[in-house]
């Protein structure tokens, strides 16, 4: 009963606040302010993503100079980067690393019948050496490390471009939302 009387006593106070903006108007203003803050944040993040993408592009271009890109248009839809020592005819090799243009690190094995076997090394795990076959020479391990660096750079650039695209869309969203008001 006391609660009921308390609510009845507060009713005149709730309806007598004619000078204050309505709760709906107050909420609209809060949303507008939040959207403007999000737009500022998105623009700052986009500027940073643009810088990172530019840096990653330069880094990748520098790394690609150390490799030869091989792609036979007749037979391949995806080309591969190989170190100069592995370029050309693969007949003299039984094992070599290569990097697909999409950023996958592949270890290629060739048996005596000239059958090719491809093993993809996951780049998410920084301990990629755990996935390597045993008994590799130091020079082959160094070649794989160079290929790992290139593959990681390709994937990092792809991730930077995806982030840049998402942030561009976010900026456009908040700009359009602000214009519609």
In sequence order, which residues have a C-beta less than 8 Å from that of residue 103 and are 6 or more positions away? 123, 151, 152, 154, 155, 158
Domain boundaries, the chain: 68-158
Q: pLDDT value at position 31?
A: 87
Question: Tokens 């020079």 label which residue?
Answer: 139
Q: pLDDT value at position 133?
A: 82
Q: pLDDT value at position 129?
A: 82
Q: CA torsion angle for 80, 83, 88, 89 (degrees, to 10)?
A: -100
Distance between CA atoms of residues 175 and 6, nearest Å: 47
User: What is the value of pTM for the model shown?
Assistant: 0.77
Low-confidence ranges of the chain (pLDDT < 50): none
Q: DSSP assignment, residue 131? A: G
Q: pLDDT value at position 7?
A: 60
Q: pLDDT value at position 21?
A: 67
Rg (CA), the chain: 30
Task: Tell me the per-residue pLDDT of 78-98, one tens digit each, with 9 for 90 and over.
Answer: 889 999 988 877 777 788 899
């Amino acid at each position: 009963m006391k609660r009921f009387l308390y609510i009845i006593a507060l009713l005149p106070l709730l309806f007598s606040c004619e000078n204050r903006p309505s709760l709906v108007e107050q909420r609209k203003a809060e949303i507008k302010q939040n959207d403007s803050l999000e737009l500022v944040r998105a623009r700052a993040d986009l500027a940073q993503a643009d810088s990172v993408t530019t840096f990653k592009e330069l880094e990748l271009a520098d790394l690609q100079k150390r490799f030869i890109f091989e792609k036979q248009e007749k037979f391949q839809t995806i080309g591969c980067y190989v170190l100069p020592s592995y370029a050309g005819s693969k007949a003299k090799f039984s094992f070599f690393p290569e990097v697909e243009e999409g950023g996958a690190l592949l270890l290629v094995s060739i048996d005596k019948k000239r059958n090719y076997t491809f093993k993809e090394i996951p780049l998410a795990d920084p301990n990629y050496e755990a996935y390597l076959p045993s008994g590799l020479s130091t020079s082959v391990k160094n070649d794989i490390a160079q290929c790992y660096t290139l593959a990681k750079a390709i994937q990092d650039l792809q991730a930077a471009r995806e982030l840049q695209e998402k942030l561009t869309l976010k900026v456009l969203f908040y700009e359009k939302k602000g214009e519609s008001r």
